[in-house]
Amino acid sequence: MSRAIRFSQRSFIFAAILLLTACARDMNYVQMKALMPPPPADKGRIYFYREFAWLGNVVTPDILLNNESVGISNPGRFFYVDREPGEYRAICGKGDDHAVNFSLAAGQEVYVRTAVAGGIVTASMQTEVVAPSLAIPQMRDLNYSALQ
């Protein structure tokens, strides 16, 4: 086999690996925001996010919105749901003391942060509504998780 053919085969394999890696890579908030369609005019958008933390990363409970599972609280990730205007209750983990209530209007974006609270031996989840001016910078490098 000639040197040129071997070089071409190796180049092709290298390019294929790069392409697969690029496709498999998750998009962060900034990249995803540029591609996301706006919410329908009659709905609002709720973002759920969780920053990466050194402790508690194995804890990944469901997130409930008005008692309906909408996703999983994964460290370093975010997702969103579009919903009708109204009153909502979001909870991550177990126990009503970890729930947060909020109103959603048409065209409004609400940011809900989840985090592990507590000590090393016992941990629980914290759920809170965060102002966009604080949430967006916190979400910049978080990866998008498609709903399951």
Q: Per the domain annotation, does 137 fall within a domain?
A: yes
- pTM of the entire structure? 0.79
- Asked, for residue 41, whether it belongs to a domain, the answer is yes
Residue 5 lies in a domain: no
Q: Quote the CA–CA distance of 122 and 99 in Å, as a whole number.
A: 18
Which is more confidently placed, 127 or 11?
127
Share of the chain above pLDDT 90, in %: 58
- The predicted structure's pLDDT at residue 98: 79
Residue 103 maps to a domain: yes
The whole domain housing 78 covers 27-144
Residue 127 resides in a domain: yes
* Vertex 147 angle, CA 16 and 138, to 5°: 85
Does the pLDDT at position 144 exceed 70? Answer: yes
For residue 70, the one-letter residue type is V
pLDDT band at 146 (very low <50, low <70, confident <90, very high): confident
In a domain, 7, yes or no: no
103: Cβ contacts below 8 Å, ≥ 6 apart: 85, 86, 87, 88
In a domain, 35, yes or no: yes
Per the structure, how many domains does the chain have?
1
Which pLDDT score is estimated for 116?
A: 87
First and final C-alpha spacing in the chain: 48
**Token representation of residue 7:** 């070089």
Residue 2 domain-assigned (yes or no): no
For position 116, which CATH number holds?
Answer: 2.60.40
As a whole number of angstroms, the longest Cα–Cα distance in the chain is 70
Q: What is the DSSP string of 59-79?
A: ---EEEETTEEEEE--TTEEE
